[in-house]
Chain A
Amino acid sequence: MIDRDQVLHVARLARLRLTDEEVDRMAGELSSILDHVERIEELDLEGVPATTHVIEVGNALRADEPRPSLPRDVVLAAAPATQDGGFLVPSPQAG
């Protein structure tokens, strides 16, 4: 079960605004999904290591050498707003 307050808490963590209608609907839908996935609680997993990577690989290390990256103007071209060679955003101090 997941209630309205938990949905709102998680939405805040995820930087996601939800309308009241969405909060109610998500609480119901997420609860039924969680009821299903919680079946893994039935399994005895004592001492089972967690998978961190499916294919056995050693450390993939490369020489730490500088190489060109995308030009600044090319990267900035896709941005919604720019100023002085940087991304322009509303002030984090406001509100």
Chain B
Amino acid sequence: MSSLTDLSAAAAAAAVNSGEIDAGELFEAYRERAAADDLNAFLWVAESPASPSDGPLGGVPLAVKDLFCTEGVPSQSGSKILEGYRPPYTATVVEQLARAGAPLLGKTNQDEFAMGSSNENSAFGPVLNPWDRSRVPGGSSGGSAAAVAAGLAPWALGTDTGGSIRQPAALCGIVGLKPTYGSVSRYGMIAFASSLDQAGPFGRDVTDVALLYRHMTGAPDPLDSTSVGHQHEIALPTAERLDGIRLGVPEELSGEGIEEGVLARFRETLALAESLGATVQPCRLPHAPHALSAYYLLAPAEASSNLARYDGVRYGLRKTDPAQPDDLLSMYTSTRHDGFGDEVKRRILIGTYALSSGYYDAYYGRAQQVRTKISEDFAAAFADVDLIVTPTTPSVAFELGAKTADPLEMYLNDFCTVPMSLAGIPALSIPCGLSEGLPVGLQLCGPAFSESRMLDAAYALEQAIGFQRTIPEAS
């Protein structure tokens, strides 16, 4: 007899809606698991469902990354500067999913302000990877990924700015989708880099991810002027074969700098795709090697502007300088010194530098031009192929502490995921096997708004790969 939490989210939703299982019992089963979390994946767990279970998502509870504003519930973006902050409103996408029948289960740990690739930049301590607790789960949405991988949540929301959904999905052996920029409302997401930030789903399998995403997108949100929604309803995947699908392999993102175990699983998956009828062919993304450089100018520049709001005036932490307790400027600088962690300080400084007088054209302006070249590369590649495939990450999950001393080395984790973010196109990661006993991720990406096609191809591959989540039970 399998337990309620063994069901996939889609199967659980169907079972609730057909009356086979009780939504309240399902919520309680996950609530107990989330409350007993020993991975530090959850920062807050709900006592009971706050929204009704009727709706297509059947009351299947949802874990939500800390940076989504949830009314009356801690929303801290992993930062000390927002410790204990309970916002007076809820993010559009969280509200939309609650209306569709997915009540809030809890808020998950993350790198501070989504800046990081290991979840070690959280003010509330690192998250442990359920496959090996001495290793990182990836980041920045590490809590959401670890919670889904360990079965503490059926599915979860994350955000992806340069890889923050795809990279932790890969390192935790689950599925994660970064949707087309603008297809999901950003209203109520605590901002990192507004031209790149996008909310997306995590699930145990491709079907769960497709089902959740279907209810995240739709009509444009009047509260987010960059939101465009999706013209067509997202289809649930059914493909068994890949006949006629042309998969492009960019040499720039599938060779140098990627460890051998990851490349081996990648090549095996390509062979599997061919056996399902796909054509696998080389393609070129000539500017992709410069994507990381452009990203680490643009994202910090936007962050330095977005994070200017944390000044100790309206919400969050306030610190005064004991030497000058009555001085406004020193209140600002003390609050920001004490409230922000090292990585956030680094990015604020780089971003401010890149935007400062005399440097703007050489850094920010040039990076925006590189971004155009990267979009053009993808457009040219998609003239000859339907989807592009790469490894999601250069390595499997690394040891806690292994990369904290060298910020640049940490940034290189995002090498394969950043180009799609700069182009605003959708990309997802699915598990494609193990290396050294740890999950390896395969990344698929397609043109803007091609999510349904991408999810279908990912589903066919998923069935053929037959990945087993054989992680030790979280107890």
Binding site for B on A (CB under 8 A): 2, 6-7, 10-11, 13-19, 22, 26, 29-30, 32-34, 36-41, 43, 45, 48-55, 57, 60, 62, 70, 74-75, 77-81, 87, 89-92, 94-95
Contacts and interface: CB of A to CB of B under 8 A. Distances in A.
Interface of B: 85-89, 180-182, 195, 220, 222, 225-226, 228, 287, 290, 292-294, 296-297, 304, 308, 311-318, 320-321, 324-334, 336-337, 340, 345-346, 348-350, 352-353, 356, 362-363, 365-373, 375, 407-408, 411, 422-424, 448
Nearest to A57: B228
A37 B293 CA distance: 4
B349 A14 contact: yes
A55 B180 contact: yes
Contact of B345 (A16, A77, A95): A16
B366 A39 contact: no
Nearest to A46: B369
Given A11-B349, A37-B293, A95-B327, 12 more contacts: A10-B352, A10-B353, A14-B308, A15-B332, A15-B333, A16-B337, A32-B407, A54-B422, A57-B226, A78-B85, A78-B314, A92-B328
B327 A50 contact: no
A27 B325 CA distance: 29
7 A-B pairs with least C-beta separation: A54-B424, A95-B327, A50-B368, A80-B318, A17-B333, A78-B315, A17-B337
B70 to A, nearest CB: 14
A56 to B, nearest CB: 9
Given A18-B337, A60-B225, A45 B373 contact: yes
A26 B347 CA distance: 10
Contacts of A57: 182, 226, 228
A54 B89 contact: no
A7 B345 CA distance: 11
Given A22-B345, A78-B86, A39 B293 contact: yes
B293 A10 contact: no
9 contacts: A18-B337, A29-B407, A40-B294, A41-B362, A55-B448, A78-B85, A80-B317, A90-B331, A94-B326
B297 A37 contact: yes
Contacts of A77: 88
A22 B332 CA distance: 18
B290 to A, nearest CB: 5
Contact of B313 (A70, A89, A95): A89
B228 A55 contact: yes
A6 B356 CA distance: 11
A95 B372 contact: no
Nearest to A38: B293
B89 A70 contact: yes
A90 B336 contact: no
Task: Name the residue among A6, A43, A53, A79 with the largest chain B CB count within 10 angstroms.
Answer: A43
Contacts of A26: 345-346, 349
A79 B348 contact: no
B345 A18 contact: yes
Contacts of B367: 37, 40
Nearest to A52: B368
Contacts of A45: 366, 369-370, 373
B346 A29 contact: yes
A10 B356 contact: yes
B328 A91 contact: yes
A13 B357 CA distance: 11
